[in-house]
Chains A and B, each alone.
Chain A
Amino acid sequence: MKRTGAQIVWEVLTREGVDTVFGHPGGAILPVYDAMPAYPVRHILARHEQAAGHMADGYARVSGRVGVVTVTSGPAATNLVTALATAMMDSIPILAITGQVPTTLLGNDAFQETDVTGVTQAVTKHNYLVTDIRDLARVLREALYIAQSGRPGPVLVDICKDVLNDETDYEFPEKLDLPGYRPFAGVDMQAIEAAAELINQAQRPVIIAGHGVQMAHAENELRQLAEKAHIPVAMTLLGLGDIPETHPLSLGMCGMHGEARANKAIQASDVLIGIGMRFDDRVTGDLDAFAPHAKVIHIELDPAEINKNVPADVGILADAREALQALLPKVQPAEHREWMAQIEEWNRESQERDILNAEVDELIPPMIMRELWHVTQGDVIMVTDVGQHQMWEAQYFLHERPRQLLTSGGLGTMGYALPAAIGAHFAAPDETVWAVVGDGGFQMTIQELGTVMQEKVPVKIAIINNGFLGMVRQWQELFYEKNYAGTPILSPDYVKLAEAYGIPARLVTSQEDVSAVLKEAHEHPGPFLIEFQVKEEVNVYPMVEPGEAIDNLIRRRIVQGPSGLQPAW
C-alpha cells in the first residue's frame, strides 16, 4: 500500500481508534490537513493552539483515551507549550502532532522553524522528531502507547514537511520495540502483607486518595477498603470524586485549602495511606512537620514518586486498582469509633465557620457553587479555571464520581477551563458540562467562544466576576498588607460579548436570582453564559500558608453579625 506521510498519520490514528482531533492548521502541517477529509475523523478548530491543547486534555480526562492535537510549526508549536506542561503535571495522555520545516532546512533558522523537540523536552513524557518517512508509522504508534501507558502524559511528534509529502509502502507496525520503557510493575505481595499489617493495627488511619485512583478505575476498591477497615478518605484536588463527597467516610479535599477535618486527621493519623497521589507541596505543606506520627504506605505507579517527598514505610509500586485488589482480602474489618468521633468534632467546629452559615445580602461565590450542585443534582462534568473560584468549587460542589471534575491541579494554568470544557463535551456529548471561570482566567482564552459558536458546543459558562485576580489579591491581603498592585481587573460586558457570538447570556447580581438562572442555563439545550457579579474581597478559607504545617490553618474569623456571631468573609 503506497501512502504519503500525511496519510500514514491518519492511517495510524484511525486504526488506533482516534476519531476526534483538535487543532489549528498552517504551512508545515498542511499536508496532514489535506489528507484528513478522506478519513473518519472530526476536526475541531480552536482559536489558539494553547486552547487546542487544553481541548485535547479535557477530552482525555473525560474519555480516558488519548487526546490528539495537530498544529503547525514555529509559533503554533510554542503556543502549545502551556497545554503540554499542564498535561504533563497532571499525567494526561495527549498526542501532539506538530509540522516542522523540511529536513533540508532543519537547523537553518528557516521561516517558522523552532526546535520544538528541544523546547518541549521538559514538558512532555517523550517526544520525537521524524526526518524519515520509514520511521513515521512506528513513531506514531509508540507515541500513542507511551502517552497512555504507565503514568500517562503528553507525547509530541514533530514531523518534517517533506516527510509528510514523501510516499512509502505502508504497513501498520504490529510490534512495539521499546526496550527502555517498562511501564508496568507487578504487585509485590510482600509489600502488600506489610501494608495490611500496618492497616490492621492502625488506630487512627487516614487515606489520601489522588488522581491515580481515577486513572486506574480503582474507585470501587477504594471504597471497599475504606468501608471494610473503617478508614476516612481525604482527597487531593485531582482526586475529588474518588469516593463520593457525600459518603460518611469522605473528609473532602486536603491540603492548602483543604477541609480542616481532613488536614487535622492527616496530622493526627498513625497510619497514612497515599493512593495514586504524589505528596505535592500543596498537599503536604511543611514536609518536616507532615503527618509526624504516621507510618506511611504509598501506593503509586510511578517509582520516582515513592520516597520523593515523603519517605514511605511501605512503598507499593503498582496500579492502584491491582494493589487494592491484592490488599483487600488481607485487611480485617474494623471500626474506629473514637477516631471518627474526633473527626466529627473537628467537623462541627468547621461548620460554625462555614461562610454558608453567614447572613449576607451580597452574592458570595461559595453559595453559587453549592447552588450549582443543588440545581444540577451533582450530575454534571465540572471544569474549573484557576484561582479562588477553583477552590470554592472544590470545597462547595460535592463531587460524586471520578472524572467529574477537570481542573489544572499541578500547573495551575489560568485559561484552562473553557477549552477543556469544550474538549470534555466531545468526549461525553450526552453529559452537561459546566465551566466555572474567574474574570481573569476567562479573559485568557475567551477567544474560544468562537469555537463554542462554530461547533455549537452546549457548554455552560459561569463567570465569577470579582473584579480582581482574586487569589493573588487574597495573598496580597494576607501577606503584602493589601497592596493590590496589578490585581484589579476590568471586564468587558460579558452578556453583550456572548450575544455577539450568538450565545444566550444572563447577568446575575443578587442572591435571589442565582437558582433560577442556573436552572435556566442548565435546562437550555445549547451553550449558555452567566456572569455573576460577586462581592469582591472574599477569601478562601481555611488556608495553609506556603511552607507551614497543614494543621496550622488560617481560619475564617467569627464576627458580630445582624443577629449574633457569624462567620466573616
Chain B
Amino acid sequence: MTHDPSTFHKYTVVAWLEDKPGVLSRVLSLFRRRNFNIESLAVGHSERPGVSRLTFTVLGDDRMVEQAIKQLDKLVNVLRVEDITHKPAVRREMALIRVKVNAQTRPEVMQLVDIYRAHIIDVSMDSLVVQAVGNEERLNSLIDLLSNFPITEMVRTGPVAMTRGAAGKNGNGKHARRMAL
C-alpha cells in the first residue's frame, strides 16, 4: 500500500523518555532513518525525575503515524508514546520575535502585542523583542502581522501539549503498546 501526500495531515504525539545519555539521539536518528516527516519537536522535564517529555508534530497519514509511534515505542528507553491528535488537549508554543521599529511603528507593534496578549520583554531604540505564547494558529497570525514591520530575528519552541481533564498518566503506563492496533 502506498501513501498519497495529498491526504497527509498533522499529528501531535507525546512521548516519555528515560532521561539518559544518548536517548534523544536515538529518537532523532529513528525519525531520520525511517523517513518520518517531523515538523516540530520540543523536549524538557516532566513531573517525574528522570523522565523527560517530548512533544512532536509529524506530517503523514494514519498508517505512517502508527508506524512512527510503534517504532518509537520499541526503543528501549522510550517509556510510553501517545497520539493526542484527536484527543481534547491544550497545545501551546512560545515564540520570541525581534521586530524592527521606529518612533512611528512602535505604538502599532505594542498595540498588536496587547491584542494578542503577548509581552514585550526587551526594548531598544530600533527594536522590540516580543514574547508570545499560544497555539500554533494564533502565533502564526501574530507573526504574520509583525512581519510587516519587519521581523529581524525569531525563535519558536515548537508546540508542547497536554490532554485536558484530571486523569494525567505519568509515563509508566503498560498499556500504550496496544493503542494503535
A182 near B67 with CB under 8 A, answer no
Identify which of A224-232, A304-312, A530-538 touches chain B: A304-312
Instruction: Say whether B73 faces chain A, with CB atoms less than 8 Å apart.
Output: yes
Identify which of A173-181, A452-460, A479-487 touches chain B: A173-181
Instruction: Say whether B66 faces chain A, with CB atoms less than 8 Å apart.
Output: yes
A121 near B1 with CB under 8 A, answer no
B29 near A121 with CB under 8 A, answer yes
B98 nearest CB across to chain A (Å):
35
A272 nearest CB across to chain B (Å):
14
A303: chain B residues within 8 A (beta carbon)? 70, 73-74, 177, 180-181
Q: Range of interface residues on chain B?
A: 20 to 34
B177 near A180 with CB under 8 A, answer no
B22 near A129 with CB under 8 A, answer yes
Instruction: Say whether A521 faces chain B, with CB atoms less than 8 Å apart.
Output: no
CA distance A563 to B126 in the complex (A): 97
A180 near B181 with CB under 8 A, answer no
User: Which of A117, A118, A179 has its CB near the most chain B CB atoms (within 10 A)?
Assistant: A179
Contacting residues of chain B (15-49) with chain A, CB-CB under 8 angstroms: 17-18, 21-22, 25-26, 29, 33
B77 near A304 with CB under 8 A, answer no
**B80 (CB) vs chain A CBs: closest residue:** A180
B1 near A304 with CB under 8 A, answer no
B153 nearest CB across to chain A (Å):
32
A304: chain B residues within 8 A (beta carbon)? 67, 70-71, 73-74
A308 near B67 with CB under 8 A, answer yes
A180 near B75 with CB under 8 A, answer yes
Instruction: Say whether A317 faces chain B, with CB atoms less than 8 Å apart.
Output: yes
Question: Can you pick out 12 interface pairs between chain A and chain B where the beta carbons lie within 8 Å of each other?
Answer: A122-B33, A129-B22, A178-B76, A180-B18, A182-B174, A303-B181, A306-B181, A307-B67, A307-B181, A311-B63, A317-B177, A317-B178
CA distance A310 to B1 in the complex (A): 7
Evaluate whether A180 and B76 lie within 8 angstroms (CB atoms) in the complex, with A122-B33, A303-B177, A315-B181 already known: yes
**A151 (CB) vs chain B CBs: closest residue:** B74
B178: chain A residues within 8 A (beta carbon)? 185, 317
Instruction: Say whether A146 faces chain B, with CB atoms less than 8 Å apart.
Output: yes
Evaluate whether A179 and B18 lie within 8 angstroms (CB atoms) in the complex, with A146-B76, A307-B63 already known: yes
Instruction: Say whether B79 faces chain A, with CB atoms less than 8 Å apart.
Output: yes
Evaluate whether A309 and B29 lie within 8 angstroms (CB atoms) in the complex, with A117-B22, A180-B75, A181-B76 already known: no
Instruction: Say whether B172 faces chain A, with CB atoms less than 8 Å apart.
Output: yes
A180 near B33 with CB under 8 A, answer no
B30 nearest CB across to chain A (Å):
8
User: Which of B21, B177, B181 has its CB near the most chain A CB atoms (within 10 A)?
Assistant: B181
Instruction: Say whether B14 faces chain A, with CB atoms less than 8 Å apart.
Output: no
Instruction: Say whether B2 faces chain A, with CB atoms less than 8 Å apart.
Output: yes
B55 nearest CB across to chain A (Å):
18
Residues 282-303 of chain A: 1 if any B CB is under 8 Å from the residue's CB, otherwise 0? 0000011000000000000011
**B51 (CB) vs chain A CBs: closest residue:** A179
